[in-house]
Structure 1
Amino acid sequence: MIPMSLAEIATAAEGRLSETADPEAVVTGGIEHDSRKVGPGGLFLALPGEKVDGHDFAPKAEAQGAVATIATRPIDSPAVYVDEGLRALAGIARETARRSEATVVGVTGSNGKTSTKDLIGHLCASLGPTVATEGNFNNELGHPYTVCRLAPDTRYLVLELAARGIGHITELCEIAPPHIGAVLNVGISHLDGFGSIETTAEAKSELPRFLAPEGTAVLNADDPRVAAMAERTRAQVLTFGVQNPADIAAADVEAGDGRHRFTLRTPDGDAPVRLRLWGGHHVHNALAAAAVAWRLGASPDHIAEQLSEAGRKSERRMDVFTLPDGTTVIDDSYNANPASMGAAIRALGQLPTAGRRIAVLGLMADLEELSDECHRRAGEQAAEAGVDELIAIGDGTEPIVEGAAGNDHEHSIDGANGVVATHVPDQTAAIELLRTRLRSGDSVLVKGSRHRTWDVADHLRAKEDNDQ
């Protein structure tokens, strides 16, 4: 954290110090909302929870070296009293960003935010000290928490910007104004919050619209809704793409074993890239990251070398591993929407396998009236990709079976497309079915929204032999 006195912290948080808090005491160790992570010189953010109240752990935080606790009710430890904890955290983060000289990179999109953020973070770290969002900690808590991790020598701050409605991205941008903003795509996701894909596009456009004239908007030339944002930003525009002309492009794309190869083309020359990440969707993610790095002054050779070295950092995202019997598992179970589901299914289809390809698919949440259509399309994509067997888990996934089998039956079908498609009520039933179906040499994809397929993935991971 950039050092600040408690008096300065109180001003930034719009709070007041308790009588036992020393205004001149300096906070150097960062802000934590988990008392177990608080260290000497840090701050503890006491948040009320459903089961426990953070205020009860203030004495523990003080014993571990916390300078003070940010609190909303009286406690027996040095405190900064505020009206609302998250608003106070945002204020401290805003002041931290104001004092920092780091270049701020913001990333948003309907799909691929976390993977692309990880790639950008990897590239930036090769250029200088970097702070990046951990996992997908991208909300009203995770975003300011990440900003507060800035140190005096940090050169790059890479932030994943998520939204479930209009105005959310703007609010995050106001905490740490981005110098570079990358928009990856606009797709069907979180329709319970956005209502339509047009509203989704409007929300994502808040990032390029926020940028200053001296900033850079990194836009996907292959997504018409993203490309159109060039007309709505004051910033310089840098495009990336595969199908359409772009400033940063991929040529000669080859699928290989599912880890794609391509020639990176930039205004400064070309360089070969061989990704370690699984799935064709990572080509666009890599290009977005390359565009950011090129804007920061990296050479094509350096960018290509770093992209070729980058591995998976976040859990349950295209994590490919092998079981002792030779079965290959693709754990992409963190979350799912129509675009990411299609990308994962295509990756399963491209994966070399000695046995069968099996897809275990859970519900894609928040699709509202488009749910049946999108799930049916996922089943069709499984058939098109050459999937041999499909297991759909839980209520709402029956259309996956219908789409895979090419007819309107709902339960167990040996379809005309050659897909054995089965609907099961829950993950326990899916695990039992896999026990009888999986054979040595098979490849299995596990994909669904949030927790809906995690038990299946964890069951398979328990058998894991080695990561690829």
Structure 2
Amino acid sequence: MIALSLAEIAEAIGGELRLAGTDTAGTVVDGTVDTDSRTMGPRSIFVAKPGAETDGHHFVGAAVDAGAALAIVEHAVDVEVSQIVVADAVVALGALAREVVRRVREKGDLKIVGITGSNGKTTTKNFLARILSDEGETVAPVKSFNNEVGAPVTMLRVTETTRFLVSEFGAAAPGSIAHLAGLVEPDVAVVLMVGMAHAGGFGGIEETAKAKSELVAAARATGTAVLNVDDARVAAMRDLAESRGMRVVGFGQSPVAEVRAQGIEVSASGTRCVIESAGRSIPLDLRVLGAHHITNALAAIAAAGVLGVSAEDAVARLETVEIAERWRMQPLGNERVRIINDAYNASPDSMAAALRTLAQITGPDERTVAVLGAMSELGESAGEEHDRIGLLAVRLNIRRIVVVGPEARRLYLSAVGEGSWDSEAVHLPDQDAAFEYLRSELRDGDRVLVKSSNSVGLRHLGDRLGELFS
């Protein structure tokens, strides 16, 4: 974080400053800001966030032992450290992020990109950060830090020398993206897609679309909206962007896209296509598996272009990326048994894309094996969407469908009903049972996809299988 005095921080977050030791109102802090006491270092700020399972106030002492010089708390604690008492620690965290970004923007040439979408946010963030890092100091979230805590924590990593801030915005509820994006007012607003992910929490896909459009509404009116023109709900956000005076850049496979892909080819070694931009044709050889990641690459190339990076440079940098992120289409195993661990998250769209990729990269003498868990946060659509994935797996001729956990049983029943009989589809109660089954079932030539929502935890099963066949 940039250097700020205790008094400046207290004013920014509207809290009551209580000094300790030799501190004065002018004492300066400039270290890490986080809700995790384990990340503290010299002159850090610990935000004591109450939680469902534990209370950050219990860890103020540990944070101070690790180097924290200030605690932001909702009630004073009996620890020898200066404290700022606020009504809501998470709101205070956001307010501090807003102030820090404002100051950096005033003094420098900081450009901010906001990314949202039902799928692909983290991959696109990683792609764009890779492209921009060669242009100047770039701050981007660790993993999927895109909520009311993770997004501000990322914002607070900017300093006077930061040139680009790439923010990822998830939507926990209507208004979430508006709040988070409103903290920084991005110069570039990237909307990837509107899908069924989290639709249960919004009351349907149209409400999800409204939530995603909050990013366009919160961006700077002098900025640019980078929109997926292949998704009708995203493409419709052009009207909102143009009504605010924003420039619009479209990406996708449609002929109307300013940055588009043609000739997509998927193999076990990656994904190839030709990028068309400003009258130029640029071959892209992406090491990341899956045709759906071309959409994420297009978004990153388009956003980088808005910030002055040529498509040729953007493509060259993307070709150095080996995996999108751990547990996202991550290749494991060996030549005999290849494991694709894509179980960090799952929605109907990403589940379908992963299954299609599995089918595409498996040769005629190889066997497809899909290890599937439940998709969460689908609300009333959960049963229907699990049915759809079971049907798709059979229609793609996935040879072994291994369904794990009681929440995914309907997927298994759907596959059986579609004709996956005679042990082609099995239902197992948990990860341990699945591991034991797969250890004896997998054979040379198998290509294995592991896919589920994060809450199911099949990513750990994918890791175990990767180690088994390493």
Residue 370 of structure 1 corresponds to which residue in structure 2? 381
Change (3 A) 1:313 1:27: farther
Displacement of 1:266 in angstroms is 1.1
Give the 3 Å change call, closer, same or farther, for CA 299–13 of structure 1 in structure 2: same
CA offsets 1:175-206 (integer angstroms, 9 cap, x no match): 11111000000111212211111101111111
Matched, 1:321 2:332: yes
- Assess if the C-alpha contact under 8 Å between 1:184 and 1:285 holds in 2: yes
Three-state SS of the structure 1 residue aligned to 2:468 is coil
Q: Distance in 2 between matches of 1:62 and 1:401?
A: 51
Contact 1:254 1:262 in 2 (8 A): yes
TM-score computed with the length of structure 1 as normaliser = 0.93
CA distance in 2, matches of 1:59, 1:305: 47
Residue 93 (structure 2) aligns with = 89
Give me the whole-angstrom Cα distance separating, in 2, the residues matched to 1:162 and 1:152. Answer: 27
| Letter in structure 2 aligned against 1:69 | A
Equivalent residue for 2:360?
350
Name the residue aligned to 2:345.
Answer: 335
Name the residue aligned to 1:231: 239
Q: What is the TM-score normalised by the length of structure 2?
A: 0.93
Q: Displacement of 1:172 after TM fit?
A: 0.5
CA distance in 1, matches of 2:389, 2:275: 31
- Structure 1 residues 371 and 51 mapped into 2: Cα distance closer, same or farther (>3 Å)? closer
The residue type paired with residue 352 of structure 2 is G
Structure 1 residues 278 and 52, CA, compared in 2 at 3 Å: closer, same or farther? same
SS at structure 2 position matched to 1:286: helix
| Aligned-residue offset at 1:421 | 1.1
Partner of 2:120: 112
How far off is 1:128 after superposition?
Answer: 0.8
Tell me the equivalent position of 1:42.
Answer: 44
Structure 2 distance, partners of 1:62, 1:427, is: 39
Aligned partners of 1:66 and 1:373: how far apart in 2? 49
Tell me the CA shift for residue 244 of structure 1.
4.0
Equivalent residue number for residue 57 of structure 1: 59
1:262-294 CA-to-partner distances (Å, cap 9, x unmatched) read: 111111623211001111100100000000011
- Offset at 1:40? 1.1
Task: Give 5+ residue unaligned stretches, structure 1.
Answer: none
Structure 2's unaligned 5+ residue stretches are none
CA RMSD of aligned residues (A): 1.9
Q: Partner of 1:463 in structure 2?
A: 468
1:389 to 1:64, Cα distance in 2 relative to 1, 3 A: closer
3-state SS of the aligned residue for 1:439?
coil
Note the alpha carbon deviations across 1:100-135, whole angstroms, 9 max, x for none: 231110000111111111111111112110000111
Cα 1:434–1:251, aligned 2, differ >3 Å: closer, same or farther?
same
Alpha-carbon offset, residue 74 of structure 1? 1.9
Question: Contact 2:264–2:291 at 8 Å: present in 1 too?
Answer: no
Q: In the alignment, which residue of structure 2 is the partner of 1:133?
A: 141
Q: Say whether 1:413 aligns with 2:424.
A: no
Structure 1 match to 2:82: 78
Q: Percent identity?
A: 40
Letter in 1 for 2:259: I
> Which letter maps to 2:459?
W
Q: How big is the shift at 1:397?
A: 2.5
- 2:12 maps to a residue whose letter is A
The one-character-per-residue Cα deviations of 1:423-464 (angstroms, maximum 9, x if unpaired) are 222222222221221112211111011132234223213325
Alpha-carbon displacement from aligned partner over 1:397-425 (angstroms, at most 9, x marks no partner): 233234434548xxx823xxxx8111222
Structure 2: how far apart are the matches of 1:237 and 1:284? 17
Distance 1:272 1:191 in 2: 36
Q: How many pairs are equivalent?
A: 457
Are 2:191 and 2:226, in contact at CA under 8 Å, matched by a contact in 1? Answer: yes
**1:68 match:** 70
- Whole-Å Cα distance in 1 between the matches of residues 51 and 235 of structure 2? 42
SS, match of residue 375 in structure 2: coil
- Which amino acid is the alignment partner of residue 126 of structure 1? D
Alignment partner, residue 6 of structure 1: 6
Distance 1:8 1:189 in 2: 40
- Structure 1 stretches of 4+ with a deviation exceeding 4 A read none
> Which whole-Å CA distance do the structure 2 matches of 1:438 and 1:464 have between them?
10
Would you say the 8 A contact 2:347–2:375 is kept in 1?
yes
Aligned residue for 2:209? 201
Distance 1:433 1:59, change over 3 A: closer
92-101 vs 65-74, greater mean Cα deviation? 65-74
Q: Distance in 2 between matches of 1:404 and 1:51?
A: 38
Using the TM superposition, name which of 170-179 and 430-439 deviates more. 430-439
Question: Aligned AA for 2:452?
Answer: G
Among residues 186, 200, 214, which one is paired with 1:178 in the alignment?
186
Give the match for residue 303 of structure 1. 314
Stretch deviating more after TM superposition (388-397 or 170-179)? 388-397
Residue in structure 1 matched with residue 25 of structure 2 by the alignment: 23
| Residue among 254, 271, 279 paired with 1:260 | 271
Q: How many Å apart are 1:219 and its aligned residue?
A: 0.3
Superimposed CA distance per residue, residues 295-330 of structure 1 (whole angstroms, 9 cap, x where no aligned partner): 11111210110111123253211111124x721001
Counterpart residue identity of residue 231, structure 1 = D
Instruction: Tell me by how many angstroms 1:47 deviates.
Output: 2.4
Partner of 1:218: 226
Q: Residue 268 and residue 157 in structure 1: after superposition, are their counterparts in 2 closer, same or farther (change >3 A)?
A: farther
The Cα shift of 1:394 comes to 2.1
Q: Residue 147 of structure 2: SS of its match in structure 1?
A: coil
